[in-house]
Amino acid sequence: MTVQEVQQPPVGGDPGEPSLTRLQQLKSLAVTGQDLTKVWGSRLWHFLTAKDEAAYELAVAPQLAAEAPGRDWLQHLLFQMRPAYRQTVVMALAINILALLTALFSLQVYDRVVAHAGYSSLVALVLGMLFVVVVDYTMRHGRALLLQRVGGRLEVAIARSVFQRLMHLPALELEKRNATYWQSVFRDIELVRSTCSGGMALLIIDLPFLLLSLIMIGIIALPVLPVALLTLIAFCVLAWLAGRDTEDKSQQEKERMVSRDATIAELGQARIHLKAMGADSAATRRWETHYARWMADSLERSRESDRYRDLATEMTVLNTVVVTSVGALAILSQLMTMGALIAANILGGKMVAPLVQLVGQWRSWGQFLAAKKRLGELLDIPLDRTETDVRMPRPSGTLVMENISFSYPGSKHSQIQELSGQLGPGGLHAVVGPNGSGKSTLLKLLRGLYVPAQGRVLLDGADMAQFAHRDLARWVAYLPQQVQLLSGTVRDNIAISDPDADDALIVRAAKLACAHDFLIDLPDGYGSQVGDGGGRFSGGQRKRIAIAQVLLHDPAVLLLDEPTADLDPVAEQSFVTTLKDMAKDHTIVVVTHSPYLLRQCQGIMVMDKGKLLMAGPAAKVLPKLGIAPAQTAQEVSNV
């Protein structure tokens, strides 16, 4: 059979591709990676200008996506943000120094103003503290803005890399992870961002500056310094105990929550079926079981956190009592002044406040560590090939299987066993067999979604492993047995692989899929909303829209899994006629149980338990399956 070459743009470098346009824009704005530190280091708060954002995206985000497995991905990312964190530390130092002035103000008022009726001194001190308040507010607000922007950049970089994995992980890895898992992953991203740029980050930055309070207490109230040191040690021990008791349970609580969400999502999707079956009691028990497990773990951790938080609060009160008592004895012994005692209490309160916060934040810290671990495990999984090294023309559609075998991870049995043969170029071929015989798995191997455990699949003599999936999608179209539409318009769904596709291509694909007539009959036509998961349309209509998706760019090879399963007889006959016409210059492989479609095929492959039982022309194979082949055009039309 002579295959007509269809002229199409070379694959692998579509002009006007959004990502390429964005990259060019970034490069036009960006400073070099070497200048990145200088740019950020020279600005205090407004370090994220357009050029800086472009430099960040070019220097940081791609590096995160390309990180080698085993490296600490978050440490690498935060290291790129070190200029911003340095600025935050500098502002934290200034804020903590300014905070000491409140204690000195109290010391001066009690020891000088009150003792000597120094009205002018009081006015000067008050004016000075007003200036300190303004500067302190400015510094705190600036630090908060800085960390907010840092957090935004961090979350964008992580989210982009995670979404890249949602799009480019191997199919087997994607099948292990349901929608609830990905929702959980993006909640983990939010948790990492809030920890690295929110209250926990500020707490970690402020903790070293507790030494300033200790030094100041030693200078103005030396007798109470031992009390302050003991308080610091006591709070550190309490924080360590809180971390030890809560960290191990963070992962378990997260797993329970994912299980709870997965159960709710599953029951929500099956809500109509459950209602029709009258299965409300069983569904309720199922939901309550998972919800109760999560609730029990959550309440247990909350009780532990509350216990340590309450202990920290009581230790704060005890610290005030002890400092005041020791200070009073020191005053009676002429070792310090009343102003020094007041200042020491202020400094002690300032020192204890972040320690109390530290004890209460251990639960969040444990959740952060668990989230970081889960994200790291995901980021360590190698991606599928995303770029093809050499642009190739549109193939003729010859598929060759060279002794391919495949088994699912953890399975002791091979789903496909030592299968060899050639399909195409051209022709309409069918794969038949009982359920579980490996038919759908074979289509995924032919599409390149699965990698054979041994052997290889060739497309026009080229090993398919060398091609990126974006290129393969234009050459080899795959229709799964269960189709899924996305919320949006019919046009958006048909053009899901190419949102800028010409209207003529969209209409052509819809006509080939026998969807055009019912679409133009809708009030909004191709602009009609499909609803959640395509719920506005029947199963057959959804299937035809999905068929239009795979036909959009006229691929050389079509791999269709039960394409007529949801179609009515009239639609099936019309679509099969289209397939026969396309088979003149396309290689079409269908998995089907439809006798009508089988009669129109030129070749049949029969599979059982992963093995090829027989293959050959339909006229010879169909009688062995108990199906009479079509003999004449008149007989075909009457089927």
Q: How far is CA 394 from the centre of its chain?
A: 33
Model pTM? 0.76
For residue 452, is the peptide bond before it cis, meaning its omega torsion is within 30 degrees of 0?
A: no
- The tens digit of pLDDT for each residue in 260-303 reads 777 777 777 667 766 667 777 777 777 778 777 777 777 777 77
pLDDT at 71: 56
CATH 1.20.1560.10: which residues of the chain? 31-379
Task: List all residues 6 or more positions away from 296 whose beta carbon is below 8 Å from its beta carbon.
Answer: none
CA angle 277, 283, 287 (to 5 degrees): 165
Residue in 478, 476, 477, 463 with CA at minimum distance from that of residue 389: 463
Cβ atoms of 485 and 533 closer than 8 Å: yes
Contact 597, 571 (CB under 8 A): no
Task: Provide CB contacts within 8 A for 313, sequence distance 6+.
Answer: 356
The three-state secondary structure class of 408 is coil
pLDDT digits (tens, 9 = 90+) for 608-628: 888 888 888 888 888 888 887
Q: Which two tokens stand for residue 334?
A: 């002429």
Fold of 399-488+549-638: Rossmann fold (3.40.50)
Residues of CATH 3.40.50.300 domain(s) within the chain?
A: 399-488+549-638
The span from the CA of 265 to the CA of 590, in Å, is: 32
pLDDT band of residue 457 (cuts 50, 70, 90) is very high
Higher pLDDT pick, 615 / 19: 615
The rounded distance, in Å, linking the Cα atoms of 636 and 639 is 5
475-504 pLDDT, tens digit per residue, is 899 998 888 888 889 999 999 888 888 899
> 3-state class of 421 per DSSP?
strand
Q: Which two three-digit tokens encode residue 426? A: 């051209």
What CA–CA distances, in Å, run from 422 to 173, 397, 398, 404, 429?
A: 28, 10, 7, 12, 11
Please check the confidence at residue 5 and state whether its pLDDT lies above 70.
Answer: no
Question: CATH assignment of 31-379, given 1.20.1560.10, 1.10.760.10, 3.40.50.740, 3.60.20.30?
Answer: 1.20.1560.10
